[in-house]
Amino acid sequence: MAKQSLIEAFEVKPKKLEIKDVKDYDIFPNKELLDNLRSKIIQDLIDNNIPENSSLEQYINDEIDACLVGYDLSYMERNHVFNLIQNEVSGYGPITELLEDDSITEIMVNGPNDVYVEIDGKLIKEESVSFINDTHIIRTIQRIVQPLGRTIDAASPMVDARLRDGSRLNAIIPPLSLTGPVLTIRKFSKNLESVDDLLLKGTLTNDMALFLEACVKSKLNILISGGTGTGKTTLLNILSGFIDDDERIITIEDAAELRLHQKHVISLETRVVNYEGEGEVTIRDLVRNSLRMRPDRIIVGEVRGKEAFDMMQAMNTGHEGSITTLHANNPVDALNRLETMIMMNEMEIPVSAVRGYIANAIDIIVQIDRLSDGRRKLVNISEVSLLDDKNNIHLKEIFSYVQGGIEEDGSVFGEFKKVDKYPGVYNKIKRKGNKLIDNMFKE
């Protein structure tokens, strides 16, 4: 079937186009024309309706030429139109500019006209970005993940992937998603935050920063706990900066996000199953292998399953200074989740032994949270005590953030508190010769 000319389809009338800022889509004087052109080209791509003897680039140029006959465009103006269409074909489609915007930390596509972004911890609906239909979303996802060796279709309707810049992508489509294709991208921050940045944002106090620095330098085992999007990986990156430069560090992650600047860093990443259902390498496999690599420190991006047992074993067998993260809403919940994950190994280990493993392995639990106003806070730093006579693990709070209320503008107010007396872990810190917190507490 012969393709209908875009001129015939949209009845274009000659008109002078003036684009003052070629990067600004919204000031394009005939936005409807541009949307129609975009829709026509994308639909042709979806329907495979491209001449066999025409390259993709030539096809785009021909369609733009046909659509803009009679328009007096400068080179820059025409190039702007071409780039917008090119983003659809070889870029990341409608979300290309969102991925290039450093102020955006997360992109969520819930439907063709339902796109949200996260900026400064707050979700904002992006009204200027849309897809043509569900098929357009799926095609965009496929184009993103295909070069990464991943696929998504009705047979494999879910995919996790790491983009080349380190951003994490998750997509799920029907039949698993009843609302249509859903795409979520957590962007990889190009600007590494430091502990000074956290101090400026009020995420923690100077005493808390010094205490955590002392814990890392004294090789205490640290568990960072928090919900989704609270900044656990960012905090892990910052704490890892306190590790001495001469230590051999092994990092283990599902999707490599950690960026350590020490000289002796070995980065390991898991691998998913291939098309034949083989070749999977899990966090647990990598933790076990890392023990044979003579590590000074083992840093696991996140524990979420059976690897928790191997991690606790490593911490209990001389691998001090290990750091990891875990999804939990509070320190008590973190301990319960650890216990559950260890019990998943289907080994006949008494609960008292599991709790003993945890109590001997973990020194400090750091809880990070995102408040209702979008700001992140270290709401709790606790030390893990040994078992009592009833085989219960006790937590002793060292620092906490107590929320006072919410202002009229929605901002949260509160205050940080710390205990008066030195915590039990101070003895471990002191034995390492660290004097950072010598005057922080009362004797």
**DSSP letter for each residue of 4-38:** PPHHHHHT----B---S-TT-STT-TTHHHHHHHH
Q: What pLDDT, in 10s, does the model give residues 87-121? A: 766 668 889 889 888 889 899 999 999 999 998 87
User: Given 3.30.465.10, 3.90.870.10, 2.60.120.1270, 3.30.450.90, which CATH number is that of 95-186?
Assistant: 3.30.450.90
25 has pLDDT over 70: no
Lowest mean pLDDT among 54-58, 73-77, 153-157, 176-180: 73-77
**Beta strand 364-370 with 297-300: parallel, antiparallel or unpaired?**
unpaired
Runs of H (alpha helix) within 47-147: 56-67, 75-89, 96-100, 134-145
pTM of the model: 0.75
Average pLDDT of span 30-43: 67
Residue 348 one-letter amino acid: E
For the chain, report the end-to-end CA distance as a whole number of angstroms: 87
Q: What pLDDT, in 10s, does the model give residues 324-333? A: 999 999 999 9
128 has pLDDT over 90: no
* pLDDT value of position 73: 64
* pLDDT value of position 188: 76
* pLDDT value of position 275: 63
Average pLDDT of span 50-75: 73
Total length of the chain: 443
Upper half-sphere CA count for residue 249 (Cβ side, 13 Å): 28
For residue 276, give every residue at least 6 positions away whose Cβ sits within 8 Å of its Cβ, in sequence order, or none.
none
Q: With pLDDT > 90 as the criterion, what percentage of the chain qualifies?
A: 44
Q: Tell me what the pLDDT averaged over the chain comes to.
A: 83
22 has pLDDT over 70: no
Residue 1 one-letter amino acid: M
Q: What pLDDT, in 10s, does the model give residues 344-387? A: 887 778 888 888 889 999 999 999 999 988 899 999 999 998 77
Give the residues across from 211 on adjacent strands: none
Q: What pLDDT, in 10s, does the model give residues 205-251? A: 999 999 999 999 999 999 999 998 898 989 999 999 999 999 999 99
Sheet with 249-253, strands from edge to edge, namely: 265-269, 249-253, 297-300, 323-327, 222-226, 364-370, 376-384, 395-406, 412-418
Confidence of residue 184 (pLDDT cuts 50, 70, 90): very high
Question: In CATH, which superfamily holds the domain spanning 195-431?
Answer: P-loop containing nucleotide triphosphate hydrolases (3.40.50.300)
Q: Hey, how many other C-beta atoms are within 10 angstroms of the C-beta on 252?
A: 28
* pLDDT value of position 11: 34
Residue 250 one-letter amino acid: I
- 7 vs 36 pLDDT, higher one: 36
Domain ranges of the chain: 6-90, 95-186, 195-431
Secondary structure of residue 56 in the 3-state scheme? helix
